[in-house]
Amino acid sequence: MKELIKAVAEIRNLKNELYGKDFLLTWEKTVDDLTVILKIAGALQALYHGNVSCRLFDSGLAVSQFRDQSTRTRFSFASAANLLGLAVQDLDEGKSQIAHGETVRETANMISFLTEVIGIRDDIFLGRGHNYMVEVGNALEDGYANGVLPQRPVIVNLQCDLDHPSQSMADLFHLQHYFGGLDSLRHKKIVMSWAYSPSYGKPLSVPQGVIALMTRFGMDVVLAHPEGYGLVPEVVDLARVQAARSDGSFRIVGSMEEAFLEADVVYPKSWAPYGIMKRRTELVSRNDTAGLRDLEAECLATNAKFKEWEYTEARMKSTRKGRALYMHCLPADISGVSCTQGEVQERVFERYRFETYQEAGYKPYIIAAMILAGKFADPAFVLEGIASRGERRTGI
Amino acid sequence: MKELIKAVAEIRNLKNELYGKDFLLTWEKTVDDLTVILKIAGALQALYHGNVSCRLFDSGLAVSQFRDQSTRTRFSFASAANLLGLAVQDLDEGKSQIAHGETVRETANMISFLTEVIGIRDDIFLGRGHNYMVEVGNALEDGYANGVLPQRPVIVNLQCDLDHPSQSMADLFHLQHYFGGLDSLRHKKIVMSWAYSPSYGKPLSVPQGVIALMTRFGMDVVLAHPEGYGLVPEVVDLARVQAARSDGSFRIVGSMEEAFLEADVVYPKSWAPYGIMKRRTELVSRNDTAGLRDLEAECLATNAKFKEWEYTEARMKSTRKGRALYMHCLPADISGVSCTQGEVQERVFERYRFETYQEAGYKPYIIAAMILAGKFADPAFVLEGIASRGERRTGI
Amino acid sequence: MKELIKAVAEIRNLKNELYGKDFLLTWEKTVDDLTVILKIAGALQALYHGNVSCRLFDSGLAVSQFRDQSTRTRFSFASAANLLGLAVQDLDEGKSQIAHGETVRETANMISFLTEVIGIRDDIFLGRGHNYMVEVGNALEDGYANGVLPQRPVIVNLQCDLDHPSQSMADLFHLQHYFGGLDSLRHKKIVMSWAYSPSYGKPLSVPQGVIALMTRFGMDVVLAHPEGYGLVPEVVDLARVQAARSDGSFRIVGSMEEAFLEADVVYPKSWAPYGIMKRRTELVSRNDTAGLRDLEAECLATNAKFKEWEYTEARMKSTRKGRALYMHCLPADISGVSCTQGEVQERVFERYRFETYQEAGYKPYIIAAMILAGKFADPAFVLEGIASRGERRTGI
């Protein structure tokens, strides 16, 4: 296991402040922290491929709370928890007493007595998801400090209104793998571009996660979108600051043509404009159903003006050597496949289909790495222990 | 592990008739049985805190059936099952063929081929929940005797119409811990008091569970409620008989003032009157939706006459040294927090908030103890084995 | 463990082509394959009864996808997965992004990164379920070949529109056990008979599974139904061809009297006529709600003409020695118990009730055998390893 030995050595050379902390936003973590996560994820993948059991828990719950639909993240979280030996228990708010006026701080403790990790998706309403996770985290801190919880479960953000770290870190893992290392990403041009979709209200967390993460690693990050489709200003400012610090760059452009020219990587994806998302949150707070209906109609009508924002073969030709890596968090709105007209042409998507599947396939290891680093102070020691124990994962 | 060695010795000194039996009502168990459960729960907690794996099953299902909403009991059952190595499988009646006219005796067997324990919550309708559990138990007995089931799963009552033993036993564990042992509970005054809540139809099983259990241990139990808010008469009679037998006492009073005076422990909690619950069951049997609506309105109107039944700071002052232990099964209706006016003042609840969380935190160990004692004839031997095996629960 | 040693020796003498393949239809498997499944199932049952741990996976997911209600199959799959060490993760299409226009080929990969087996029930619409499973299988093949999946999960058919192999194989296991071996089944007369039920639209997969499987083992298979209640013609043709090949026989008759005469085994069960099921699929494709309502009314009216098709004590008397083995996949429509008039008289059902429960009880082992044979090339070696490892399943 050469990869493993290498990963362990590299982890030892990095400063790691992940232990006992929630993983909520990549920009709260140091570059060393993020690199440690990538290294652990790589090591776990190598161990899995070598049929070595990565079990670290003989019992313990991994609680998941999905306040929005999920397939791949749900399965990624379940796979990650299971890989380490944890049992998934879903907190289904419909089946709980939360509706009975129970407070967040109370529920957080009630589900955590024998719990090691809580994965939360809360991405629908701007200004809510991240705050909710912080509130849960504070309640856990409080419960642990006051002798209620025998251990402090760590929270893993499975997508909030601001960031989608398990996605963006899997994206980074994919880029690292594709280009041959983190260092090779310096001054690679990556384009996070808005693209047309017949749907409404897609969260901002994926584009925000991408621009906020890739600017940490010296990439030349371009954000492209039609006027009025901006992201949360604080995150855009952050991307700018971080790019300067990492000796990369960050630019916003208003056309796909300009954006994709000589790009190494493209990420065309639909999202709802920041302004719309803000208005939606307000309407939801007031329970204004009619207002929400109007907003959706308005948003779809505005979207329809930008049908031309599709990633086509012609646009692909303008990228570096005509074959920029195409990325997507999936599911993509593929013209003629999942919708009449959408984010990407079928022929282009087909060419990169398995690449996007591989990109998604890193997520279980990324989440497992976040759990491992949050629960064990010395991940290098733990990984060595797993390897030297050498128990089979399957078979006799 | 001094606690463990002590617990094992104490279990050896008690007569234990729990093996192979369902745990449905505390009053069907001997005082020795109940003490054994407390001792096992304490031992499991000590082992957990010592990071010792308590796995006793390498495979096996723990089936849960919730016919009512649940957060803390759901997670407590899942934690308990997982601690012992069982996998939770939920019987969701909506997704099963039970609606197709399948009989209870059949379903009970069909879910039990490789099942070790079945946890059931069925607390909504008076006269139903307990009977249902007995019916399931008889079907399991029958299936086991006739070679259908290779083992007899034990049932753990996760709240029925009569009792809520995992709650009341966690309450008892809490009291034992708080006062320094079961013997210290003799002649401690505990008040199970009705309290106002803006909701309707809360089950009787918590107050019944408390008065029926605490009268076994020589406590001075006071039941307080407005006229018309009585509990199931058989359980009240039982409390009286048991109190006499255990050299404790049992009284019913009609005012909070009288009840709380010099109390050592207070448990102010709303419930629906016995008469209302009986009428509700009848209306449900007839599918009388209009009748149910009228009953709810009537009940809420009656409740509203007793808004004054709130546990306030003034009332707390009248308790022993002004600081009786406040207990609640949670979630409490806290005035100004989860409702405008409810069971308890915010300042009082806040003072005991972490105590109530700890009280809830004993439930996973209590349920695990019920499973362990139901499935293993010699729990002392099993606990010693776990300790001497000494496998880590987490880590490498 | 004499059974185990015998089973291992027998498996070694059979040619086994199950490894790496989905288990979708019994008629795609060789007689040797089917016999291997029975032997593995028997060995697992013996190991379970001997309290030997059958764990073969230290981690890994067993994904279940139920597109129709299920109790016993859901629990059988969960039990089988758990017995081998896999964790069940349910793919609930309502909670996933599948509704967002995601393709089957994509979802299949997204849920499979760390997945060992996928159990699918898709039995409602004729012409759909089997095709869906094939499509999922092709997508997995594709993902595995293209480096997306580190292993190829195998699919186990938990009931499709054509076959219900875990049921029919459990039925065969039951027959083998009852008559003392597969060879003893030669020229035993088994009657798969339509029976009246007040319900509508029961799938054809059970009767088809039974006639298609039992004709492989030299049985004299009789299919009985009123005119117009035929099964899928291709499966009926297959039964005829297979019966000839196995030196058994296959006949279709139009009355219960003729069918049950001197029968060794009877399987009276309701199903919807092939023609109705075809029309239903078309109406569903067109979203024709009114048409579906009319079809249901028409079907129930036609059914009502055949209320006389009930398995009665008088009919039982005409079977071999008056005591043919009664079989059913459960739940049965028992006259006077689960409906006013149904498939079988209460007194008859009661006599065989525990037999039918035992029949159902083989399913977890059958499904576990399908998983084991699909995932391990040398099941005899694996079973020997489990036995010689000799780890306890429960206890200390």
Chains that contact B by 3+ CB pairs under 8 Å? Answer: A, C
Of the residues B57, B71, B270, the best mutation for testing chain A's interface (the one with the most A CB atoms within 10 Å of its CB) is B71
Task: For residue C253, give the DSSP letter.
Answer: E
Q: Tell me how far apart the alpha carbons of residues C176 and C184 are, in angstroms, rounded to a whole number.
A: 8
For B146, the closest chain C residue by CA position comes to: C354
Residues B328 and B381 grouped into a single domain: no
Residues A324 and A187 grouped into a single domain: yes
Which residues in chain A touch residue C385, judged by CB atoms under 8 angstroms apart? 396
From the CA of C130, how many Å to the nearest CA of chain A? 22
For the segment C162-184, the average pLDDT, to the nearest whole number, is: 98
Give pLDDT, residue A284: 86
How many CB atoms neighbour CB C51 within 10 A?
Answer: 15
| Domain contains C133 | yes
Residues A110 and A184 grouped into a single domain: no
Q: Tell me if A74 and C95 make a contact (CB, 8 A cut-off).
A: yes
Q: Tell me how far apart the alpha carbons of residues A157 and A166 are, in angstroms, rounded to a whole number.
A: 7
Q: For residues C325 and C178, is the Cβ–Cβ distance under 8 A?
A: yes
| A371–B contact, CB cutoff 8 A | no
Give pLDDT, residue B96: 62
Per residue in C357-369, pLDDT tens?
Answer: 999 999 999 999 9
Which one of B61, B143, B381 has the shortest CB-CB distance to C79? Answer: B61
| Domain contains C325 | yes
Which one of A333, A337, A360 has the shortest CB-CB distance to C110? Answer: A360
What are the φ and ψ backbone dihedral angles of C386, each rounded to 5 degrees?
A: -60, -45
Q: For residues B356 and B332, is the Cβ–Cβ distance under 8 A?
A: yes
The residues of chain B scoring below 50 in pLDDT are: none
Which residues in chain B touch residue A147, judged by CB atoms under 8 angstroms apart? 354, 358
First to last CA, chain A: 21
For the segment C141-146, the average pLDDT, to the nearest whole number, is: 98
| C103–A contact, CB cutoff 8 A | yes
Q: Tell me if B354 and A107 make a contact (CB, 8 A cut-off).
A: no
For B382, the closest chain C residue by CA position comes to: C396
Residues B63 and B171 grouped into a single domain: no
| Average pLDDT, consecutive stretches of 10 residues, N- to C-terminus, chain A (396 residues) | 90 97 98 98 97 98 92 95 98 68 89 98 92 98 97 98 98 98 98 94 95 98 97 97 98 98 98 90 90 91 95 98 97 93 96 98 98 98 96 96
Q: Tell me if A148 and B358 make a contact (CB, 8 A cut-off).
A: yes
Q: Tell me how far apart the alpha carbons of residues A315 and A309 are, in angstroms, rounded to a whole number.
A: 10
Domain that holds residue B260: 167-360
Q: What is the CATH number of the domain that holds B153?
A: 3.40.50.1370
Which residues in chain C touch residue B146, judged by CB atoms under 8 angstroms apart? 354, 357
Q: Which helix (H) or strand (E) holds B382?
A: helix B379-389
Window B:31-60, CB contacts with C under 8 Å = 56-60
Domain count, chain C: 2
| Domain contains A396 | no
| A269–C contact, CB cutoff 8 A | no
Give pLDDT, residue B69: 83
Per residue in C13-72, pLDDT tens?
Answer: 999 999 999 999 999 999 999 999 999 999 999 999 999 999 999 999 999 999 988 888
| B69–C contact, CB cutoff 8 A | no
| C381–A contact, CB cutoff 8 A | yes
Which residues in chain A touch residue B69, judged by CB atoms under 8 angstroms apart? 95-97, 99-100
**Angle ∠(C2,C8,C9) on CA atoms, nearest 5:** 90
Give pLDDT, residue B71: 84
| Domain contains B176 | yes
For A84, the closest chain C residue by CA position comes to: C59
| Domain contains C244 | yes
Based on C-alpha coordinates, what's the Rg of chain C? 21
Task: With cut-offs at 50, 70 and 90, classify the pLDDT of residue C82.
Answer: very high
From the CA of B170, how many Å to the nearest CA of chain C? 25
Give pLDDT, residue A101: 59
Q: Tell me if A394 and C148 make a contact (CB, 8 A cut-off).
A: no
| A87–B contact, CB cutoff 8 A | yes
Residues composing chain C = 396
Residues B231 and B285 grouped into a single domain: yes
Which one of C66, C337, C396 has the shortest CB-CB distance to B386? Answer: C396
Q: Tell me how far apart the alpha carbons of residues B19 and B152 are, in angstroms, rounded to a whole number.
A: 11
> Which residue type, as a one-letter code, is found at position A170?
A
Which one of A58, A109, A110 has the shortest CB-CB distance to B55? Answer: A58
Give pLDDT, residue B3: 83
Residues C113 and C213 grouped into a single domain: no
Give pLDDT, residue C3: 83
From the CA of B267, how many Å to the nearest CA of chain A? 18
Q: Is the pLDDT of residue C100 over 70?
A: no
From the CA of B284, how many Å to the nearest CA of chain C? 21
How many CB atoms neighbour CB C202 within 10 A?
Answer: 17
Q: Tell me if B103 and C392 make a contact (CB, 8 A cut-off).
A: no
| A227–B contact, CB cutoff 8 A | no
Dihedral of alpha carbons C72, C78, C79, C81, sign: positive
Residues A94 and A159 grouped into a single domain: yes
For chains B and C, CB pairs below 8 A equal: 119
- What is the edge-to-edge ordering of all strands in the sheet holding A61-66? A87-90, A61-66, A115-122, A154-160
Residues C197 and C258 grouped into a single domain: yes
Q: Tell me if A357 and C103 make a contact (CB, 8 A cut-off).
A: no
| B102–C contact, CB cutoff 8 A | yes
Give pLDDT, residue B101: 59
Percent of chain C, pLDDT > 90?
Answer: 89
| Domain contains B395 | no
From the CA of A249, how many Å to the nearest CA of chain C? 32
Q: Tell me how far apart the alpha carbons of residues C72 and B89 are, in angstroms, rounded to a whole number.
A: 12
Residues B286 and B176 grouped into a single domain: yes
Q: Tell me if C88 and B91 make a contact (CB, 8 A cut-off).
A: no
| C7–A contact, CB cutoff 8 A | no
Q: Tell me how far apart the alpha carbons of residues C93 and C113 are, in angstroms, rounded to a whole number.
A: 18
Percent of chain C, pLDDT > 70?
Answer: 98
Which residues in chain B touch residue A385, judged by CB atoms under 8 angstroms apart? 396
C246 against C97, higher pLDDT: C246
| C113–A contact, CB cutoff 8 A | yes
From the CA of B386, how many Å to the nearest CA of chain C? 7
Residues C384 and C319 grouped into a single domain: no
- Pick from A79, A78, A86: which is nearest to A55 by CA? A86
For chains A and B, CB pairs below 8 A equal: 118
Residues A310 and A269 grouped into a single domain: yes
> Which residue type, as a one-letter code, is found at position C125?
F
| Domain contains A394 | no
Q: Tell me how far apart the alpha carbons of residues B370 and B389 are, in angstroms, rounded to a whole number.
A: 22
Q: Is the pLDDT of residue C97 over 70?
A: no
Which residues in chain B touch residue A64, judged by CB atoms under 8 angstroms apart? none
| Domain contains B394 | no
Residues A347 and A270 grouped into a single domain: yes
For B363, the closest chain A residue by CA position comes to: A113
Which residues in chain C touch residue B99, judged by CB atoms under 8 angstroms apart? 69
How much is the ipTM here?
A: 0.96
Q: Tell me how far apart the alpha carbons of residues B142 and A320 are, in angstroms, rounded to a whole number.
A: 73
Which residues in chain A touch residue B94, judged by CB atoms under 8 angstroms apart? none
